[in-house]
Amino acid sequence: MKIIESVEEMREYSQQCKRDGKTIASIATEGELHDGHMSLVKIAKENVDVAVLTIFHTIDYFQDFTEEYEAKLKRYKQDFIEKEIEICKLNNVDVLFLPSMDDLYLDVPPLNISIPVIDQLVKDRPDHPPVNMKFISPFLFSIIMPDVSVLGQKDVYMAYGIKYFVKHLNLPIKVIIAPTVRDSNGVALSSSNWFLTQDDYNNLISVYKTLQEVSTWPAYPSIQRIKMYINECITRNNGIVNHIDICCAKTLEELDSIDRKSIIIVNVKFGDKDHITDNIFIYQ
């Protein structure tokens, strides 16, 4: 496995791959790797010649280089990086890209591309400003020059946002959204799960259990009734529901009724851990 830290070296490596006729996949992560991330690597390896996994660490939409950011980065390098490198080696990652945020964003104005369908979903949520493209993928695409971008279904807003970006800028990148990887209890794998108490984790099991139950219903009542049922089940298990979206699986447009393939997205809080997300596709 090749480890690259320099933006310029990564760009040169990608250019050489292109000259050699090799295809490239990009897997963007924020570190603290788990089996969910490695499932993306497996899919990438099935579709291209070179799988590039990026670990980047950001604060406040990647713009504010604060003492908090520096402290978190120092902790990561001390406690995690060697383990992350070993995980990547064991899972046949071809290139581990460890860029500095300063290298990526130095003298680069923030990119802000509104995504109307997601903005519409979150417009009345004071804790969730309109989603825009102030994230890392556009910069990584310009450096790695991938033919394929592999994303996880769990982070569905981000996945659909990148699909929108690629489509509307007509980029020659195939976007693959991979299924969510779950543990034996159905909980979606996430680095944030490590910060849950055992009681909170046991309660979190109710989220996917409820979504899975709803997905098997032979017929669906009103959207309001579906949301009420999900809210009641999660609340009964000591969770707080921040919001529930029921959308068209193709466009992410909010639905008035279940009349097509759809996706239910939940955002919840258990204990001290807020904004835990999960989702499930339902078919009609």
pLDDT recorded at residue 222: 95
Query: What is the CB neighbour count within 10 angstroms for residue 181?
Result: 18
Give the residue-averaged pLDDT of 101-118.
67
Evaluate if residue 143 carries a pLDDT over 70. yes
Give the residue-averaged pLDDT of 49-66.
71
What percentage of the chain carries pLDDT values higher than 70? Answer: 87
pLDDT recorded at residue 62: 43
pLDDT recorded at residue 67: 67
118 or 92, greater pLDDT: 92
Q: What is the mean pLDDT of the chain?
A: 88
Q: Are residues 157 and 131 in contact, defined by beta-carbon separation less than 8 angstroms?
A: yes
pLDDT recorded at residue 105: 66
pLDDT recorded at residue 133: 46
pLDDT recorded at residue 117: 77
Q: How confident is the model at residue 128 (pLDDT cuts 50, 70, 90)?
A: low
List the structure tokens of 66: 């604060």
pLDDT recorded at residue 134: 47
Q: Are residues 33 and 87 in contact, defined by beta-carbon separation less than 8 angstroms?
A: yes
pLDDT recorded at residue 68: 67
Residue with tokens 């280089």: 65
Q: Which of 228, 222, 246, 235 is nearest to 270 (CA)?
A: 235
pLDDT recorded at residue 108: 57
Evaluate if residue 35 carries a pLDDT over 90. yes
pLDDT tens, residue by residue, 222-262: 999 999 999 999 999 999 999 999 999 999 999 999 999 99
Give the residue-averaged pLDDT of 165-184.
94
CA distance 155 to 111: 20
Give all domains of the chain, ordered by start, each with its CATH number. Answer: 2-178 (3.40.50.620), 191-282 (3.30.1300.10)
Q: How confident is the model at residue 58 (pLDDT cuts 50, 70, 90)?
A: low
Cβ partners under 8 Å of residue 80, min gap 6? 31, 32
Cβ partners under 8 Å of residue 128, min gap 6? 122, 243
Q: How confident is the model at residue 83 (pLDDT cuts 50, 70, 90)?
A: very high
Q: What is the b/e burial string over 219-229, where b = at least 16 CB atoms within 10 angstroms of the residue's CB? A: ebeebeebbee
What percentage of the chain carries pLDDT values higher than 90? Answer: 65
Tell me 82's DSSP state.
Answer: H
